Amino acid sequence: MTINLILLSLLAYVIGSIPSGLWIGKIFYKKDIREFGSGNLGATNSFRVLGIKAGSIVTIMDILKGTVATLLPFFFQLHVDHHFWLLTGAFAIIGHSFPLFAGFRGGKAVATSAGVILAYAPLLFVAALIIFLLTLKISKYVSLSSMIAALVALLISLFMGDWILIILIACITLFVVWRHRANITRIRNGEEPKIKWM
C-alpha cells in the first residue's frame, strides 16, 4: 500500500509538471511565454501573452492536472482513506510550481490547487470560483482575486471539520500569497496590470 502511494505521488508530480502554457505557446504560437509578460508559466501569463483562447485552455489544463492527480487513488482502485487523495493532489501542486519539464520554474499553483479542491470538495471549489470571479470583475486584478479566493476557501474550510483539508488549504494559501509577493508590491504602487476582457 505504501509503495503504491509513493508511486502514485510520483506520478502526480509528473502530471503536475506538465507545463501547459509553455507547450501550448511553443507548439501553436511559436512563443516561449517565459520570455514575455511576467515570465511566469501559469494561466495568467498565458492569457496575457497568448490571448483569451489559449489562456482558457491553459487554465482548464492546469485545473485538470490537479483534479486528475487527486483522483489517482480512485482511478487505480487503491482503497485508502480519501485524505490520501489530498496527498497525490499536493504532489501535483508541487509539480506545477517546480516542474520537471521546465527547469523547476513553474506557475503560482492557483489553477492546479483549484483542481485539487474540485476533486476533493466540489462545493468548496464552486464557492472559491464565485469569489474569484466577483473579485476579478470588481478589481480587474487576477493576482488579487487569486489571493482572496484562497483566503475565502481557507475560511470556509474551517467550518467543514476536515483538518487535513484545512491544513492543505492553509499551506496553499500561504504559498499562493508568497508567490504573489511581487504582485502585492505592484498593486500597492499602482503598477499591476489589469485585465481588459472582463
Ramachandran quadrant class, 51 (left: phi over 0; alpha: psi -120 to 50; beta: rest): left
Tell me what pLDDT residue 186 has.
94
Tell me what pLDDT residue 1 has.
65
Tell me what pLDDT residue 42 has.
87
CB 112 within 8 A of CB 62: yes
Task: Give me the amino acid identity at 110.
Answer: V
Helices (H) and strands (E) counted in the chain, each on its own, are: 11, 0
Tell me what pLDDT residue 54 has.
94
Select from 41, 59, 144, 150 the least CA-distant residue to 98: 41
Measure the CA–CA gap between 181 and 132, rounded to whole angstroms.
18
Residue with cell 462545493: 123
Measure the CA–CA gap between 117 and 34, rounded to whole angstroms.
27
Over its length of 198 residues, how does the chain's per-residue pLDDT go in tens digits?
Answer: 688 889 999 999 999 999 999 999 999 999 999 999 888 888 889 998 999 999 999 999 999 999 999 999 999 998 888 899 999 999 999 999 999 999 999 999 999 999 999 999 999 999 999 999 999 999 999 999 999 999 999 999 999 999 999 999 999 999 999 999 999 999 999 999 998 877
pTM: 0.95
Whole-angstrom CA distances from 17 to 40, 56, 88, 102 are 14, 18, 13, 8
Ramachandran quadrant class, 79 (left: phi over 0; alpha: psi -120 to 50; beta: rest): beta
Three cell numbers, residue 17: 509538471
Task: Give the single-character DSSP code of 193.
Answer: P
Three cell numbers, residue 190: 499602482
